[in-house]
Amino acid sequence: MIQRTATRIEARPIDHDTRSWQQLLSASVTSPEVLLERLQLDPATWLSGAREGDRLFQLRVPEPYLQRIVPGDPADPLLRQILPLSAEADKRPGFVRDPLQESGAIPIAGLIRKYQSRALLMVTGQCAINCRYCFRRHFPYDENRLSPRDRADVLSSLTDDTRINEVIFSGGDPLVASDRLLSSWAESLADIPHIRRLRIHTRLPVVIPQRVCGSLLEWLSSSRLQMVMVLHVNHPAELDNHTRHALGRLKAAGVTLLNQSVLLRGVNDTADVLADLSERLFDCGVLPYYLHAFDPVEGAHHFDVSDDRARELVRQLIGTLPGFLVPKLVREVPDKPGKTPLDLFA
Ligand code: SF4
């Protein structure tokens, strides 16, 4: 039986920060010392591990997200997603640097071709938040970023392949890029007749809701392309009232909003948290879409949840939630033509 827990967001109202998203992005916390001080965590316990993890994959957390973390609670599910730990230095069998083997699917720098009808553009290698479990934490962005020099080659490759009907902006987080750059890509893609949709994979409207600004809404709503935004929210406490407002603006601009979560030990590996997440997403106009089984990336083994546990959790959700609020449990398997659903009754 799932016990619903009330999310903390209503209980902890947070002042809206009036800085622009660019200001908030550049003021992100990147120092382990500052993070521990801000969150009232004992440096004697946490600092050495945080420095070690930070050396492997830099700490980065923006202010609006930081404000949703409960100070003094090392088990806070939002903190666990961003706090570097010494465990990240452990090497474990089966946990590798490129778990999805993406490096073999890059015909032109910045363009990933894994699926027949979809192409993925890596608009930027930067993120607004560095998630410790990220499957791209070792990705060589410097060698694979889309450059203005390669733009013509990428566009002609997309024009020549009439099977492609959807382009995905990925990264990094594509919304770290300027609206000028993104809108110019959207315009060029809209000139290719067989492209119908632009999908944007992003965490930014959640971690810095101010990113949903007038200039973003303008190019999203004025394109002939159908706009789909796939958000990445793992825990209901990531959705506060500012996020809800930002997502409402995206929806009003005609953007279809979906969410994908990653199943993470100590963050969202209980049925009540996942059920709350689905309900809260729907309250914000977002459909839960995928629940990803953990990708075995080196440095993040401590987030791993077994497939049996993952199946059990989703079976519990099926017994409690309407079908449209139950995300599909999937895994990305290298060389498979799409996500692979996990058999819930295996
Ligand atoms: S925002 Fe996405 S791409 Fe960036 S670190 Fe987090 S999971 Fe990885």
Cα torsion angle, 29, 32, 36, 39, sign: positive
CA distance 252 to 125: 29
Whether 160 has a pLDDT exceeding 60, the answer reads yes
Mean pLDDT to the nearest integer, 180-208: 97
pLDDT surpassing 70 at residue 320: yes
Question: Which of the two residues, 3 and 223, has the higher pLDDT score?
Answer: 223
Question: Is the model's pLDDT at 156 over the cut of 80?
Answer: yes
State how far Cα 341 lies from the chain centre: 19
pLDDT recorded at residue 15: 61
Q: Is 127 in the pocket of ligand 1 (CB under 6 A)?
A: yes
Is residue 297 within 6 Å of ligand 1 at its C-beta?
no
Per-residue pLDDT at 183 exceeds 60: yes
Q: What is the pLDDT of residue 8?
A: 42
Taking 80 as the threshold, does the pLDDT of residue 106 lie above it?
no
Asked if the model's pLDDT at residue 190 lies above 90, the reply is yes
Please answer whether residues 59 and 50 qualify as being in contact, where contact means their C-beta atoms are separated by less than 8 angstroms. Answer: yes
Instruction: Examine the pLDDT at 195 and tell me if it is beyond 80.
Output: yes
- Rounded average pLDDT over 281-309: 96
Which bin fits 132, alpha (ψ -120 to 50), beta or left (φ > 0)? alpha
Does the structure show a pLDDT above 80 at 167?
A: yes
Name the more confident of 139 and 9: 139
Q: For all residues of the chain together, what is the average pLDDT?
A: 92
pLDDT digits 0-9 by tens, 42-101: 999 999 999 999 999 999 999 999 999 999 999 999 999 999 999 999 999 999 888 877
What is the pLDDT, as a whole number, of residue 68? 97
Pocket flag, ligand 1, residue 246 (CB < 6 Å)? no
Sketch out the chain's domains with CATH numbers.
Answer: 21-89 (no CATH), 102-341 (3.20.20.70)
What is the C-alpha to C-alpha distance for residues 275 and 62, in angstroms, rounded to an integer?
26
* Choice among 70-79, 223-232, 284-293, 335-344 with the minimum mean pLDDT: 335-344
Measure the CA–CA gap between 276 and 14, rounded to whole angstroms. Answer: 20
Verify whether ligand 1 is closer than 6 Å to residue 238 (CB atom).
no
Asked if residue 322 has pLDDT above 80, the reply is yes
Q: Is 130 in the pocket of ligand 1 (CB under 6 A)?
A: yes
Q: Which two tokens stand for residue 337?
A: 């033509």
**pLDDT of res. 171:** 80
Residue 287, token pair as written in the block: 């459909």
Q: Which atom of ligand 1 is nearest to the CA of 127?
A: 4
Percent of the chain residues past pLDDT 90, beyond the cut: 78
Residue 142 near residue 125, CB atoms below 8 Å: yes
Question: 0.85 cut: is pTM over it?
Answer: yes
Q: What is the DSSP string of 175-235?
A: GGS-HHHHHHHHHHHHTSTT--EEEEEESHHHH-GGGS-HHHHHHHHHSSSEEEEEEE--S
Pick the residue whose CA is nearest to atom 8 on ligand 1. 134
Residue whose CA is at the smallest distance from ligand 1 atom 3? 172
Identify the band that residue 14 occupies on the pLDDT scale cut at 50, 70 and 90: low
Q: Which of 56, 65, 123, 129 to mutate to test the pocket of ligand 1 (most atoms within 8 A of CB)?
A: 129
Taking CA atoms only, the protein residue closest to ligand 1 atom 7 is 134
Q: Identify which has the larger pLDDT, 340 or 146.
A: 340
- In whole angstroms, what is the distance from residue 39 CA to residue 67 CA? 9
pLDDT confidence bin for 2, thresholds 50/70/90: low
Arithmetic mean of pLDDT, 220-243:
97
pLDDT at position 9: 41
What are the phi and psi torsion angles at 81 (to 5°)? -75, -20
Q: Is the pLDDT of residue 4 over 60?
A: no
Is 131's C-beta closer than 6 angstroms to any atom of ligand 1? yes
Strand, helix or coil at 278? helix
Residue among 136, 123, 126 at smallest CA distance from 60: 126
Highest-confidence range of 107-116, 149-158, 175-184, by mean pLDDT?
175-184
Of the candidates 218, 145, 142, the one whose C-alpha atom is nearest the C-alpha of residue 186 is 218
pLDDT computed for residue 11 by the predictor: 40
